[in-house]
Amino acid sequence: MEKITSIQNKYVREVRELSRKARARRQSGFFVAEGERLFREIPPELIAEVFLADSFSGTLPEDAGKYEKQAFHTFICAADATQMGLNACGIKSKHAKARLFRVSDSIMEAMSDTKTSQGILAVCRMKEEGLPAGSLYLVLENIQDPGNLGTIFRSAEAAGADGIILNRGCVDPYSPKVVRSTMGSLFRVPFLRVSEISDAIERVKEEGARVLAADLGADESVYRHDLRKPSAFLIGNEANGLSPEALRLADSRMRIPMKGKIDSLNAASAATILLFEALRQRL
Amino acid sequence: MEKITSIQNKYVREVRELSRKARARRQSGFFVAEGERLFREIPPELIAEVFLADSFSGTLPEDAGKYEKQAFHTFICAADATQMGLNACGIKSKHAKARLFRVSDSIMEAMSDTKTSQGILAVCRMKEEGLPAGSLYLVLENIQDPGNLGTIFRSAEAAGADGIILNRGCVDPYSPKVVRSTMGSLFRVPFLRVSEISDAIERVKEEGARVLAADLGADESVYRHDLRKPSAFLIGNEANGLSPEALRLADSRMRIPMKGKIDSLNAASAATILLFEALRQRL
């Protein structure tokens, strides 16, 4: 295992760039995933570099048995073994090309996007984007809050959505806060980034889905729609809702019934309600 | 209008204390609400002090007509008028005792909890806590994330919940990030803070509500429960779910059906799904 001692090290600088700059991510095709729990969710083939703080021991070796088949254990052991010229864990690894580094705790803090680093951080390749054939999609227009986007990924996975399309105005799904708040759903829910909202809508129509716009001003309630049919929910920006263009291109508009003196739901809440109403109708 | 020029001013120091320390809020009974949109949601009788940055012009005077009846306009005009010895807006005010201050932009930045202040900040009295008679409640155990708690307040209002009970382990609902993320629902949804989760459950049982624990391990789906009856949903901590005590005291456990390789929903998403399922059944 290599030891990094300087904050000026090129790998350290690379991580900081990837954390901070969407452009650096876009140009390189790599991003940063932090934290032990999230690390275990990364498909091993996407892991390019792993950085461990000196103080990091993780759940190894005490819990090694428990996580033997999980990426965490596999990778750490395999990388260690490869670099030490051993195969200490007896696991054949596809990841011999991934690199493992130890860094001081202060360098880890400098690399970390969080206030208190958990001591483990990985540089990962982006997965291939695409939208599989299916019957439940989300189309997101200008979703800006990283926590909202992360929550939407989690809800989409839990409700069995087949994919998410994001237009260019959405926050980068590979930004560190989004990656963290997806809790691993980022790796499992197929998604596709397109430039214009019109491209996004066209794409789900190609899949045969009806495009249903969540709109406070709509007459018909979501609960009156038959969501067993192939459906794509169109969710707009937190402050401004959907654009006139998105509303115009939708096949239908629907509202989520609400009480109280309130003018909108949180965007992730709205997406979650719609996704689970589809799940409920399909049970 | 008084002008504050020093960061050492006692009002400025008070705001910083109230922003940062739950204890300062608890002992004083005051808290801080920031931002123009949120400001308009504050019940005028709760406003004690208002701070405007030099660069703040807000929507006044251009939009004055539009907001004439809203707290924002009423208060700003009334306070200005009172302190100038005039009644420029012709509005009789209950708020003559509230104080209005101008501060430099740099002092406002130092007072603000946000990265970029919107230039308006109020010190508010806490409203009276309590739980009205009703038929739909949330009981929150150790909800830690401010954004989650804020989202839960918004969803609770939108779904027509009658009140929220929080145990001692929850994040302070008057912390700045919670206040902001409720988007004003904090002022409109009745809530009650209690020490133990057992007190919280007892309290909603007094209202005749069945206590339904959201639990991944439960056999029965929420969609098989009759939520038209008086109901209280029990929502647990983001990482650990509900405590064994909370599960034991609940009348019934239920799960939200899920697909995918996922072990939980975001806590606010779970609360939102349950609240809107109750709303749907009651339509």
DSSP string covering A209-263: -EEEEE-TT-SSBGGGS-TTS-EEEEE-BTTTBS-HHHHHHSSEEEB----SS-S
Token pair of A224 as six digits: 């009156």
Reduced to 3 states, what is the DSSP secondary structure of residue B103? strand
CA dist., res. A256 & res. B187, Å (int):
22
Give the model's pLDDT for residue B1. 75
- Contacts B262 to A, Cβ<8 Å: 154, 157-158, 183-185, 188
Give the model's pLDDT for residue B121. 94
pLDDT in tens, A134-179: 999 999 999 999 999 999 999 999 999 999 999 999 999 999 999 9
The amino acid at B257: P
A279/B280 Cβ within 8 A: no
B259/A159 Cβ within 8 A: yes
Q: How confident is the model at residue A60 (pLDDT cuts 50, 70, 90)?
A: very low
The amino acid at B126: M
Give the model's pLDDT for residue A88. 33
B269/A269 Cβ within 8 A: yes
- The answer to whether A160 contacts chain B (CB < 8 Å) is yes
B260/A151 Cβ within 8 A: no
pLDDT at A62 over 50: no
Q: How confident is the model at residue A75 (pLDDT cuts 50, 70, 90)?
A: low
- The answer to whether A157 contacts chain B (CB < 8 Å) is yes
Reference A42, options A101, A119, A122, A149; nearest CA is A122
Beta-sheet pairing, A120-125 with A99-103: unpaired
The answer to whether A63 and A132 have CB atoms below 8 angstroms apart is no
Give the model's pLDDT for residue A58. 66
- The answer to whether B282 contacts chain A (CB < 8 Å) is no
Separation in Å, CA of B260 to nearest CA in chain A: 5
Residue appearing with tokens 């939980």: B264
User: Biggest alpha carbon distance in chain B?
Assistant: 68
Which ipTM was obtained for this model? 0.87
The amino acid at B174: Y
Q: What is the mean pLDDT of residues B148-157?
A: 97
pLDDT at A105 over 60: yes
Which neighbouring-strand residues pair with B254? B214
pLDDT at A45 over 80: yes
Q: How confident is the model at residue A125 (pLDDT cuts 50, 70, 90)?
A: very high
pLDDT in tens, B257-277: 999 777 789 999 999 999 999
Query: Strand ranges (DSSP E) for chain A?
Result: 2-4, 30-34, 47-53, 99-103, 120-125, 136-140, 163-166, 191-193, 210-214, 231-235, 252-254
pLDDT at A99 over 60: yes
- Contacts A157 to B, Cβ<8 Å: 259-262
Q: Using CA coordinates, name the residue in chain B closest to A283.
A: B257
pLDDT at B116 over 90: no
Strand order in the sheet with A30-34: A2-4, A99-103, A47-53, A120-125, A30-34
B260/A185 Cβ within 8 A: yes
Q: Is the dihedral of CA B92, B61, B188, B53 positive or negative?
A: negative
Q: What is the mean pLDDT of residues A179-189?
A: 95
Lowest mean pLDDT among A14-23, A181-190, A265-274, B32-41: B32-41
Average pLDDT across chain A, whole number: 88
pLDDT at A113 over 60: yes
Q: How confident is the model at residue A95 (pLDDT cuts 50, 70, 90)?
A: very low
Q: Is A57 exposed, middle or buried (0-12, 13-18, 19+ CB in 10 A)?
A: exposed
| Interface probe, candidates B272, B281, B282, B283, chain A, greatest A C-beta count within 10 A | B272
- Contacts B157 to A, Cβ<8 Å: 259-262
B262/A157 Cβ within 8 A: yes
Separation in Å, CA of A161 to nearest CA in chain B: 9
